[in-house]
Amino acid sequence: MEFSYSREQQMVKQMLSDFCEREIAPIAAEIDEEARYPYETVAKLGELGIMGMPFPPELGGAGSDYLTYIMAVEEISKTDASHGVIVQTHNALCCWPIFTYGTEEQKQKFLPDLLSGKKLGAFGLTEPNAGTDAGGTQTKAVLDGDEWVLNGSKIFISGGGIADTYVIFAVTEKGIGTKGISAFIVEKGTPGFTSPKHENKMGIRGSIAAELVFEDCRIPKENLLGQQGKGFKIAMSALDVGRLGIAAQALGIAQGAFDETVKYMKQRKQFGKTLDKFQALQFEMANMKTRIDGARFLLYHAAWARDAGEDKLSPLAAEAKLACSEAASYVVDKAVQFHGGYGYIKDYPVERMYRDQKITEIYEGTSEVMKMVMAGDIFR
Amino acid sequence: MKIIVCVKQVPNTTEIRINPETGTLIRDGVPSILNPDDANALEEALKLKDANPGSTVTVITMGPPQAVKMLQECSAMGADEVILLSDRALGGSDTWATSNAVAAGIRKIGEYDIIFCGRQAIDGDTAQVGPQIAEKLGLPQVSYVKRFQRDGDHVIVDRALEDGYETLRVKMPCMLTCIKELNTPRYMSIPGILKAVKKEVTVWNAEDIGVDLQTVGLKASPTNVFKSFTPKPKGAGVTVEGDTPREKSENLLKSMKQRHII
């Protein structure tokens, strides 16, 4: 067992810490306030190889392992969770399924632009009546000659309307539940494909979530991703990968809020001394750190297991996401509390981190779903 | 083109601690970084390489073995080759001795078109090593470069002065020292990092570069540090308020009287 960062991991963290300080920190509050997608910084992350980090160089990726990629998402999310989820959704939920289930032609056609960050990717599974229960999917795809015709709508899609390439799930055979779902690659600008509404979210406001609408949207037959009827399996395996990234995002938020609190406690004076001199607060900081570090080990272990090709990745990913998002929930709550009134106003980043954290317990599988996945493994 | 960049690993802090016995820097426990002005020198070299396909950028430094880490960062930014001059015999060198060693290293590299150095290191703050290297290699040099442009076998540069700048045209090969106004250094890229950790760092000792041992190291250094100390931080300055010069001078006078200065 190795418990130290490799030299390349140190350098990735150092570079991103530098990048976040110079490029992301100055705009984090602004993109949150304005709910503005940070095109410029995302383009720069693409140039640095972040938008295709865990994929092979032959296809335009950076060629990193998954563990180092997870550390990158964590590092970015320490400064801004919106950037964290933008990187994460693109890599894990769009590039990964195309890389894993795509034909050679599909990979050659879509991946070079996606992995270099020239194009952005998104993932469309959730619908008004199909969230945690993907079996309720109502968007349908019917084969008509050489084209699939899509009808229906998706909601809460991260990067919706912004992204260029979408992995979309639709029913190709009714009445057989999840076995009737297939995956498709849909490109922005296809007639009949629109994203009419952006959600007004509580947190991660710099990452846009939107509704997607398909009205007789015709896509080429060869845009079916994987086999017909295997869509649910593709979605679930992508979410297994995705959960590690969301866990990393949650962990980054927790660490970021913790670091901000340490800084604040050293300078804020009450009753004639700085907050870091109060033992009640010191002890609580020790509790917070214990939760963060414990969650980090679960996450790094799950990512390591994926790199090592271990079996049973689903319960490991679920455990990591559960632990990281719950640690983050605990930490941001205390972070705001320790900032007092200043934690409740937008002058300090912990206010934003408090709002950004909540989604990590909800998307890419709620905490309850994480427990279902783990229970399924415990009692099988 | 063959481009050389001279860099230095420096402690990442403005609070430099100095060993009172030897007058040299205490490096223990202080994280090290690529000297900021040297990052500008490397960036300009990489831009020149980008504009002239087929060019190579070679980075050279002198320092202890842990300077390898900084050289890896230079590789990750895009340097093609990185060289470390490291030998106990070179330890404790002042600027004169350092430039002897680095010039010998550059002679060993062989042919080159241009050498970029940073203006000065944030630890020693002398701004001497770059110009000394140029002298020892017999090259034309321009210091404080804030704009750079290639013009065939010449370069056109703006040299920053206290109250403006002057534009100079210099024939290559030449040596330039760069200031931070010249450019914004790029970040290491992920593919660059992954390549850099696998790349071998060339390490040369004093014998490899064929330098005269009488001209390097602590004993050969003509500079002796008489005394060094960390100055106490000064208190904040006071701005004398007033709408007119007369009012200001009256307030100044009042304040001096209050403090029994006059």
pLDDT single digits (tens) B77-102: 999 999 999 999 999 888 999 999 99
- What's the first-to-final CA gap in chain A, in angstroms? 29
Residue B80 and residue B200 in contact, taking contact as beta carbons nearer than 8 Å: no
Residues of B within an 8 Å Cβ radius of A? 69, 72-73, 76, 187-194, 196-197
Tell whether A73 is within 8 A of chain B (Cβ).
Answer: no
Among A306-320, B7-21, B68-82, B162-176, the range scoring the smallest mean pLDDT is B7-21
Q: Pick the residue from chain B with its C-alpha nearest to A10.
A: B193
User: B188: which chain A residues are within 8 Å (Cβ-Cβ)?
Assistant: 11, 14-15, 48
Task: Give, in order, the Cα–Cα distances in Å from A205 to each of A85, A165, A231, A348.
Answer: 11, 21, 29, 16
Residue B12 has a pLDDT of 81
Size of interface A-B (CB pairs under 8 A): 46
What would the two tokens of residue A205 be?
Answer: 């406001």
ipTM score assigned to the predicted complex? 0.91
Residues of chain B with CATH 3.40.50.620: 2-220
Residue B15 has a pLDDT of 60
CATH of domain A239-378: 1.20.140.10
- Return the bridge partners of B125, or none: none
Residue B239 has a pLDDT of 85
Alpha helices in chain A (DSSP H): 7-19, 25-34, 39-47, 66-79, 81-88, 96-101, 104-115, 231-267, 279-308, 313-339, 349-358, 367-378
Best interface-test mutation with B: which of A17, A48, A50, A75 has the largest number of B CBs within 10 A?
Answer: A48
Residue B174 has a pLDDT of 97
> What percent of chain A is predicted at pLDDT more than 70?
100
In this prediction, residue B19 has a pLDDT band, given cuts at 50, 70 and 90, of: confident
Q: Which residue has the higher pLDDT, B20 or A24?
A: A24
In this prediction, residue A16 has a pLDDT band, given cuts at 50, 70 and 90, of: very high
Q: Pick the residue from chain B with its C-alpha nearest to A45.
A: B189
Beta-carbon separation of A50 and B197 below 8 A = no
Q: Pick the residue from chain A with its C-alpha nearest to B69.
A: A7
Question: Whole-number mean pLDDT of chain B?
Answer: 91
User: B190: which chain A residues are within 8 Å (Cβ-Cβ)?
Assistant: 12, 48-50, 53, 62, 64, 72
In this prediction, residue B20 has a pLDDT band, given cuts at 50, 70 and 90, of: confident
Question: H-helix or E-strand containing B102?
Answer: helix B95-109
**Which tens digit of pLDDT belongs to each residue from B102-140?**
999 999 999 999 999 999 988 878 889 999 999 999 999
Place of tokens 């809460």: A156
* Residue from A200, A199, A172, A350 nearest A260 by CA: A350
Read off the pLDDT of each residue in A74-79 and give the average, rounded to a whole number: 98
Beta-carbon separation of B197 and A64 below 8 A = no
| Enzyme catalytic residues of A | 364
Read off the pLDDT of each residue in A214-236 and give the average, rounded to a whole number: 96
**Which tens digit of pLDDT belongs to each residue from A229-260?**
999 999 999 999 999 999 999 999 999 999 99
Measured in degrees and rounded to the nearest 5, phi and psi for residue B10 equal -130, 155
Beta-carbon separation of A57 and B189 below 8 A = no
pLDDT over 70 at B27, yes or no: no
Tell whether A8 is within 8 A of chain B (Cβ).
Answer: yes
> What percent of chain B is predicted at pLDDT more than 70?
95
pLDDT over 80 at B227, yes or no: no
pLDDT over 70 at B18, yes or no: yes
Residue B8 and residue B38 in contact, taking contact as beta carbons nearer than 8 Å: yes
Measured in degrees and rounded to the nearest 5, phi and psi for residue B61 equal -140, 160
**Which tens digit of pLDDT belongs to each residue from A30-57?**
999 999 999 999 999 999 999 999 999 9
Residue A327 and residue A295 in contact, taking contact as beta carbons nearer than 8 Å: yes
User: A15: which chain B residues are within 8 Å (Cβ-Cβ)?
Assistant: 76, 187-188, 193
The alpha carbon torsion through B24, B30, B32, B35 (nearest 10 deg) reads -60
Residue B262 has a pLDDT of 82
Q: Pick the residue from chain A with its C-alpha nearest to B196.
A: A8
**Which tens digit of pLDDT belongs to each residue from A154-204?**
999 999 999 999 999 999 999 898 999 999 999 999 999 999 989 999 999
Residue A133 has a pLDDT of 85
Residue A24 has a pLDDT of 98
Q: Pick the residue from chain B with its C-alpha nearest to A62.
A: B191
User: B72: which chain A residues are within 8 Å (Cβ-Cβ)?
Assistant: 7, 11
**B241 class by beta-carbon count within 10 Å (0-12 exposed, 13-18 middle, 19+ buried):** exposed
Beta-carbon separation of B190 and A19 below 8 A = no
CATH entry, A7-115, from 1.10.10.1590, 1.10.540.10, 1.25.10.10, 3.40.640.10? 1.10.540.10
Fold of A121-232: Butyryl-CoA Dehydrogenase, subunit A; domain 2 (2.40.110)
**Which tens digit of pLDDT belongs to each residue from B210-226?**
999 999 998 889 988 77
Residue A76 has a pLDDT of 98
CATH of domain B2-220: 3.40.50.620
**Domain-wise residue ranges, chain A:** 7-115, 121-232, 239-378
Give the one of A8, A14, A72 whose C-beta lies nearest to B194's C-beta.
A8
pLDDT over 70 at A215, yes or no: yes
Give the one of B69, B73, B190 whose C-beta lies nearest to A53's C-beta.
B190
Q: Pick the residue from chain B with its C-alpha nearest to A11.
A: B193
Place of tokens 């693109």: A90
In this prediction, residue A266 has a pLDDT band, given cuts at 50, 70 and 90, of: very high
Residue A182 has a pLDDT of 97
- Cα separation, B9 vs B18, whole angstroms: 16
What would the two tokens of residue A93 be?
Answer: 């939920």
Residue A109 has a pLDDT of 97
- Cα separation, B218 vs B221, whole angstroms: 5
Helix (H, G, I), strand (E, B) or coil at B56: strand
pLDDT over 80 at A107, yes or no: yes
Distance from CA of A337 to the nearest CA of B (A): 32
Beta-carbon separation of A18 and B187 below 8 A = yes
Distance from CA of B136 to the nearest CA of A (A): 35
pLDDT over 90 at A284, yes or no: yes
Distance from CA of B42 to the nearest CA of A (A): 16
Read off the pLDDT of each residue in B194-211 and give the average, rounded to a whole number: 94
Residue A269 has a pLDDT of 94
Give the one of A48, A57, A64 whose C-beta lies nearest to B187's C-beta.
A48
Helix (H, G, I), strand (E, B) or coil at A347: coil
- Cα separation, A234 vs A23, whole angstroms: 35
Best interface-test mutation with B: which of A7, A15, A69 has the largest number of B CBs within 10 A?
Answer: A15
In this prediction, residue B16 has a pLDDT band, given cuts at 50, 70 and 90, of: low
Residue B66 and residue B192 in contact, taking contact as beta carbons nearer than 8 Å: no
